[in-house]
Amino acid sequence: MTLTTLSLLLVLTLVFVGLAAAGILWAIRNGQYDDMEGPAQRILMDDDDPMIPFNRLKQNAAAHKITQSAEQTSKAPADTNQ
């Protein structure tokens, strides 16, 4: 009886280890472990700044300054004194 129980436990252990290995390989092949830190970092990032009216005005003003400076540099005459 002891040998029968031992062989049954050995077979069950091998089946369990095989299923665990198959599950891990399936998870790796299907990309379950691709990015472990990205979602944890994204949840901590505050992307509400544009929703606050004062911050939106600052962002629009900064974008307007960049646009104006780009337009001024493109309209500047070329330096012909070489």
Tens of pLDDT, residue by residue over 2-43, are 889 999 999 999 999 999 999 999 999 998 888 878 877 877
| Mean pLDDT across 66-75 | 72
- Residue 67 domain flag: no
Domain presence at residue 58: no
Report the alpha-carbon distance of residue 55 to residue 58 in Å, rounded: 5
27 occurs within a structural domain: yes
Q: Is residue 49 part of a domain?
A: no
With respect to residue 82, please indicate whether it lies within any of the assigned structural domains. no
**How many distinct structural domains can be found in the chain?**
1
Q: How many CB atoms neighbour CB 59 within 10 A?
A: 13
> Which structural domain, as residue segments, surrounds residue 18?
1-31
What pLDDT is stored for residue 27 in this prediction? 93
DSSP-derived letter for residue 77 is: P
Q: Is residue 41 part of a domain?
A: no
| pTM of the shown model | 0.43
